[in-house]
Amino acid sequence: MVIIGTGEQGRVVLDILLSRGFKPDGFLNISPFEKEEVCGFPVLGDTSSLFRFKEGIVALGDNLKRKEVFLEARSSGLLFVNAIHYSAVISGLAKLGDGVVIGAGVVINTGAEISDNTILNTGAIIEHDCFISRDSHIGPGAVLGGGVFVGECSFIGLSAVILPDIKIGNGVIVGAGSVVTRDVPDGLTVKGVPAKPIKKNV
């Protein structure tokens, strides 16, 4: 098993895997010569070495870069594992995709669906019947009410609150501490209480 990405998210994923008794073979850099080891685990090359490994997970915080590397790894034939912290609480009626990172204290309730290559960070709460699309990132302490839909490559900031049945579009950024009370169209950054658009994302 290999962790792809040697930065902060890579160390988080390492910690999650170790918490469950899994010991990865090591890491891959995103570009050559970034690091030689991470927390005592060797760096075994860069993404050109993906073909050498059967299983792994992409550990990058940036949604677009994580998507790019995930697709590259999938095309190389890599099988994706999920990194689920031992303290997470996940309903048996929830569904998880491939290559999902679920941090300490996360709660995923009944009927929720978490798509491929998604990060649910420390203490996030995903209520019943939410749908989190692929390549998205739910920040620490964020709370999604029942029936929330989050589009692809969206980021929900630290401690943000999304009210029930709200739809968040693709490529959306929700600022830290915001409270989202209405649907957010594709490609917007919103923040505040209640959250309001502040810019169009490139």
Catalytic (active-site) positions = 128
How far is residue 124's CA from residue 120's CA, in Å, rounded to a whole number?
A: 6
Please check whether residue 8 is in contact with residue 101, taking contact to mean a CB–CB distance below 8 angstroms: no
Buried b (16+ CB within 10 A) or exposed e, 80-118: bbbbbbeebebeeebebbbbbbbbbbbbbbebbbbbbbb
How far is residue 16's CA from residue 11's CA, in Å, rounded to a whole number?
A: 9
Q: Kindly report whether the peptide bond that precedes residue 194 is cis, defined as omega within 30 degrees of 0.
A: yes
Q: What is the DSSP string of 141-171?
A: T-EE-TT-EE-TT-EE-TT-EE-TT-EE-TT
Residue type, 11: R
**Residue of 160, 130, 155 lying closest to 145 (CA atoms):** 130
Angle at alpha carbon of residue 167, lines to 64 and 9, rounded to 5°: 30
How far is residue 137's CA from residue 128's CA, in Å, rounded to a whole number?
A: 18
